[in-house]
């Protein structure tokens, strides 16, 4: 049995961009600048909780939606907005599997391979995605930056084996045969 | 109903009655189906009275632990403190996908149950913690909450009764352990999802340090039906000789089964009839080899044991397993049980929060040994090692994730030992000292280190 990583691997480019620069290599542009929609969204979210820290997971979701991943600079910004330390925020980010700590492909493909799907042939679906996206290896972004494929633990749709998530899109009962058609339908 | 399959005549659809009806997702559609009548009735009652009705109904937690819901609610007294209700919608027990269907087809059923539950425990604020991967349920429940707020069904002066019930949706970010109630509270507070040591129990110091009740989606969705129809009505579902397990229950069926999906039956249903008649048994030309009846954390049942098992809390225990979350995973005769158990343990190794040594080390170590056995490199001594690790992982940690990983190992070694033995190395890695003077004093030859 060979298994891949459960989180995507950083590409060499992504590693280079860690540190002083953001993914677009320019100065870091804040997500929650005053007067912006994300700022208003965060302010509204914070009214739901008795303290600012509880807004951490929601704030990180906004960052990921706006930027595609959660950079160190973004963690520092979130820390600042919620009166936390950047180290604390990083500790939380690294606990959860869904926050990307480096850029991923335009289409982030998660294939469930936990037991109920495993017995229904999920490994074949993983292989089909790796082959047809050109990724070749789990967690690696394809050369054109279009795809990243990972195995994910239980997506909670076990009766619809094999469930696959492509970004926010949730697909049910995916078979290896359906994979080319699914990929072709992506814009 | 067993969506996407049509309802089976032997089912008793209460919670699942409107699965598959897109109109039931809207406020109007839900009201047309009798929705929010129970909430209005409840908001005009004394919370203690609601607690009594739910206690009398015999409803028990549907998330896995089976704790009596009314009793849990009765821990919450009007003490002037800020109380919270958390709805556990982090459904992530492999094999379980019932809460997902409740949320994506009947989101208002959940919003109503949550608002009702919050009021019954003197809480003005409730959070629905939905796992991050559930994009469609998140979308549906968020839309339902928004609609309910806009129509004055929840919020300040809910349904014009002068009572305040706020309901908020909180999105998880990918962690099985956040389905554990204290880990869920930590996660909601913006922390890593590490379970907390109990006591203090949530009813004393829970979310944000305040008295808190945590209930599963299915549990809360059942409460409006109980308020509408009465405790006696709810108690009719179940076997007459077991008043401890009553009501209808959603069972999620998956794996190598002819008709996977959700099925709602009264507790006390015969498991053999359920598996072979309602779900159609294993696929074409296949036989069922093993079944996990209550989510991945409970022991295996063999096909023979399944035929006579009774589907309620006590019935599954008598059969040697547990009702758990109601996630039924079927393995057919093609499946290599060693490989499947290794895969299950790999899940737990991935999901361990790593704060307790027994779990952090035990889940990974167990997985390594099992994968080695599955690859044909096992030695007989591995069985003792596995059981010894399992023993050290059971009952010794903050939460039960560690126990859950030990369960399939112990139960697998008991029920499918022949499959494990068949995979051992043909010639064990033992050095023979036969015929030498040192033979008697020779220490036990060591197997390969893991």
At A22 the pLDDT is 44
At B425 the pLDDT is 85
Confidence tier at B6 by pLDDT (50, 70, 90): confident
CATH of the domain spanning B22-235: 3.40.50.11540
Q: Which residue would you say has higher pLDDT here, B439 or A58?
A: A58
At A16 the pLDDT is 47
Answer whether A11's CB lies under 8 Å from A141's CB. yes
Chain B residue numbers touching A158 (CB-CB < 8 A): 94-97, 252, 254-255, 260, 327, 329
All structural domains of chain B with their residue ranges:
22-235, 248-332, 337-429
Answer whether A126's CB lies under 8 Å from A138's CB. yes
Tokens of A144: 């054109």
Q: Say which of B173, B175, B253 has its CB closest to residue A159.
A: B253
The reply to whether A2 falls in a domain is no
Q: Say which of B132, B189, B347 has its CB closest to residue A154.
A: B347
The total domain count for chain A is 2
pLDDT digits (tens, 9 = 90+) for B17-75: 999 999 999 999 999 999 999 999 999 999 999 999 999 999 999 999 999 999 999 99
Residue the block writes with tokens 């595609």: A68
Judge: A119–B342 Cβ closer than 8 Å, yes or no. Answer: no
| pLDDT over 90 at B441, yes or no | no
Tokens of B193: 């999802």
DSSP state of A141: B
**A/B interface, count of CB pairs below 8 Å:** 145
SS3 of residue B60 by DSSP: strand
Judge: B91–A152 Cβ closer than 8 Å, yes or no. Answer: no
- Identify whether residues A25 and A66 lie together within a single domain: yes
Which residue is closest to B186 within chain A, CA to CA? A54
Chain A residue numbers touching B92 (CB-CB < 8 A): 154, 156
- The strand pair at A164-166 and A169-171 is best described as antiparallel
Distance separating alpha carbons of residues B352 and B349, to the nearest angstrom: 5
- Identify whether residues A89 and A143 lie together within a single domain: no
The CATH class that applies to domain B248-332 reads alpha beta
B175 touches chain A (CB under 8 A): yes
From A70, A95, A120, give the residue that closes a domain: A95
B253 touches chain A (CB under 8 A): yes
Domain ranges, residue A52: 12-95
Kindly indicate whether the ipTM for this predicted assembly is greater than 0.85, answering yes or no.
Answer: yes
Chain A residue numbers touching B173 (CB-CB < 8 A): 57, 60-61, 96-99
Hey, of A79, A158, A167, which one would you mutate to test binding to chain B, going by the most B CBs within 10 A of its CB? A158
At A25 the pLDDT is 59
Percentage of the residues of chain B whose pLDDT score is greater than 70: 94
Q: What is the CATH number of the domain that holds A158?
A: 3.40.30.10
- Identify whether residues A82 and A36 lie together within a single domain: yes
Which residue is closest to B330 within chain A, CA to CA? A116
Judge: A116–B347 Cβ closer than 8 Å, yes or no. Answer: no
pLDDT digits (tens, 9 = 90+) for B86-141: 999 999 999 999 999 999 999 999 999 999 999 999 999 999 999 999 999 999 99
At B236 the pLDDT is 96
Hey, of A4, A94, A126, A159, which one would you mutate to test binding to chain B, going by the most B CBs within 10 A of its CB? A159
Q: How close does chain A come to B87, measured CA to CA in Å?
A: 15
The CATH class that applies to domain B337-429 reads mainly alpha
**Residues of A144-168 as b/e, b for ≥16 C-beta within 10 angstroms?**
eeebbbbbbbbbbbbbbbbbbbbee
Chain A residue numbers touching B93 (CB-CB < 8 A): 154
Max alpha carbon distance in chain A (Å)?
52
């Amino acid at each position: 049995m060979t298994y891949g990583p459960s989180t995507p691997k950083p590409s060499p480019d992504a590693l280079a961009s860690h540190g002083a620069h953001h993914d677009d290599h320019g100065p870091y542009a804040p997500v929650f600048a005053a007067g912006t929609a994300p700022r208003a969204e965060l302010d509204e979210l914070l009214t739901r909780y008795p303290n600012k820290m509880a807004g951490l997971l929601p704030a990180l979701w906004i960052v990921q939606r706006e930027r595609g991943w959660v950079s160190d600079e973004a963690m520092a910004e979130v820390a600042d907005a919620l009166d936390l330390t950047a180290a604390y925020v990083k500790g939380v980010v690294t606990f959860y599997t869904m926050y990307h700590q480096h850029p991923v492909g335009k289409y982030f493909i998660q294939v469930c391979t936990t037991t109920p799907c495993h017995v229904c042939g999920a490994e074949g679906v993983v292989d089909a995605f790796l082959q047809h996206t050109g990724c070749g290896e789990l967690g690696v972004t394809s050369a054109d930056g279009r795809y990243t494929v990972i195995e994910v633990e239980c997506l909670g749709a076990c009766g619809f084996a094999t469930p696959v998530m492509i970004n926010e899109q949730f697909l049910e009962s995916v078979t290896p045969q359906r994979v080319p058609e699914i990929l072709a339908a992506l814009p | 109903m067993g969506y996407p399959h049509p309802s089976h005549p032997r089912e008793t659809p209460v919670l699942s009655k409107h699965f598959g009806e897109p109109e039931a997702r809207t406020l109007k559609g839900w009201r047309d189906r009798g929705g929010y009548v129970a909430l209005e009735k409840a908001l005009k009652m004394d919370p203690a009275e609601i607690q009594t009705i739910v206690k009398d109904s015999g409803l028990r937690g549907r998330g896995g632990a089976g704790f009596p819901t009314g009793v849990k609610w009765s821990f919450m007294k009007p003490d002037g403190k800020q109380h919270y209700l958390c709805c556990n919608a982090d459904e992530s027990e492999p094999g379980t996908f019932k809460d997902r269907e409740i949320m994506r087809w009947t989101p208002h059923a959940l919003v109503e149950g949550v608002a009702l539950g919050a009021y019954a425990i003197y809480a003005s604020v409730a959070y629905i913690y939905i796992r991050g991967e559930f994009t469609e349920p998140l979308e549906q429940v968020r839309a339902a909450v928004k609609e309910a707020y806009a129509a004055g069904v929840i919020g300040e002066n809910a349904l014009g009764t002068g009572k305040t019930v706020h309901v908020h949706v909180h999105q998880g970010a990918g962690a099985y352990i956040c389905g554990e109630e204290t880990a869920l509270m930590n996660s909601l507070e913006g922390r890593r999802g590490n379970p907390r040591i109990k006591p203090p129990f949530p009813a004393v110091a829970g979310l944000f340090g305040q008295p808190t009740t945590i209930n599963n989606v299915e549990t809360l969705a059942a409460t409006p039906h109980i308020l509408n129809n009465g405790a006696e009505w709810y108690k009719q579902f179940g076997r007459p000789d077991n008043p401890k397990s009553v009501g209808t229950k959603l069972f999620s069926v998956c794996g190598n089964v002819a008709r996977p999906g959700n099925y709602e039956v009264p507790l006390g249903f015969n498991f053999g009839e359920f598996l072979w008649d309602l779900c159609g048994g294993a696929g074409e030309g296949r036989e069922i080899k093993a079944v996990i009846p209550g989510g991945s954390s409970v022991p295996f049942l063999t096909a023979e044991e399944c035929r006579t098992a009774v589907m309620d809390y006590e019935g599954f225990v008598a059969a040697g397993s547990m009702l758990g979350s109601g996630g039924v995973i079927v393995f057919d005769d093609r499946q290599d049980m060693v490989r499947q158990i290794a895969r299950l343990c790999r899940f737990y190794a991935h999901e361990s929060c790593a704060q307790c040594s027994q779990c952090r080390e035990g889940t990974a170590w167990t997985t390594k040994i099992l994968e080695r056995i599955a690859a044909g490199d096992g030695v007989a001594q591995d069985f003792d090692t596995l059981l010894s690790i399992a023993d050290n992982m059971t009952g010794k940690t903050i939460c039960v994730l560690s126990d859950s990983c030990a369960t399939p190992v112990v139960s697998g070694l008991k029920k499918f030992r022949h499959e494990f033995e068949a995979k051992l190395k043909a010639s064990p890695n033992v050095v023979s000292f036969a015929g030498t003077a040192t033979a008697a004093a020779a220490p036990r030859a060591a197997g390969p280190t893991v």
